[in-house]
A = this chain, B = another copy of it.
């Protein structure tokens, strides 16, 4: 497994793979890897000739009051997991080389970057779209794998990859959960036992919403109220029900939707979501695949 520390080295490695006719799969991460990341890496290894994992804690997607300094760094165990799964190269640039003095260029995806997480994290998606553009330019992947837990991010990256003619297919993979339902997240490490017990209300409320949707509930306000009630014990950031493709808020569930929640639980800001397609609009349509082109 190669460790590449500069964009020049990364790009040279990728051009050599392309010259040899090999397809490149890519899993961008901030490290602190868990089973969710492992599922992305396994999909990349299965679907491409070679696979790259990037580990870069991106400063521009954190606000000054957020946890950039505290974000967990677990380099040795991350490398062991990547090696075990069969990753071929790790791209781990220094922040100073990614954002040198005088840095001035930002990628904005309009429309999709409003609502949901942009409320409390106004620069987050600009930071994400920009760094992923830079990572794509260095890694030159054919396919890039993202987790559905970050559903708004996934929609934005899909749009950006298409719009900027990056040649990258963005693949969204299902949320991976703990046995009790908690969505896996690097930030779960911040939780005390008491926080951990409280955090379960996110996935449990979404499960209750899923049951209501399956039973035919189509009023967005009713579904959101159900989720808000289930999350009464935590500090809710948002409970939103939006069009899964455009992220526009909906009153009636008449298309593919994203039901997304965010809450502060002890020291951690946690997110979770579900996607749902009303059975009345899928009559005769084929079942969705496990992994899908994002949104």
Contacts and interface: CB of A to CB of B under 8 A. Distances in A.
Interface of A: 7-8, 11, 15, 18-19, 21, 98, 100, 102-112, 129-130, 133-134, 137-138, 159-160, 162-167
Contact of A104 (B21, B103, B163, B165): B163
Nearest to A93: B165
A96 to B, nearest CB: 14
A137 B110 contact: no
A108 B100 CA distance: 17
B11 A133 contact: no
Contact of A106 (B108, B134, B166): B108
Question: What number of copies of this chain does the assembly contain?
Answer: 2
Given A7-B167, A137-B137, 14 more contacts: A7-B165, A8-B167, A11-B167, A15-B18, A19-B19, A98-B165, A104-B159, A105-B109, A105-B160, A105-B163, A106-B110, A133-B133, A133-B164, A134-B163
A129 B138 CA distance: 19
Contacts of A134: 163-165
A160 B111 CA distance: 23
B164 A105 contact: yes
A161 to B, nearest CB: 9
A41 to B, nearest CB: 23
19 contacts: A11-B167, A15-B18, A18-B18, A18-B19, A102-B159, A104-B109, A104-B163, A105-B159, A105-B160, A105-B163, A106-B108, A107-B107, A107-B164, A133-B164, A134-B163, A134-B164, A137-B164, A137-B166, A138-B165
Nearest to A130: B164
Contacts of A110: 104-106
Nearest to A98: B165
4 nearest A-B residue pairs (beta carbon)? A105-B163, A19-B19, A134-B165, A137-B165
Nearest to A245: B102
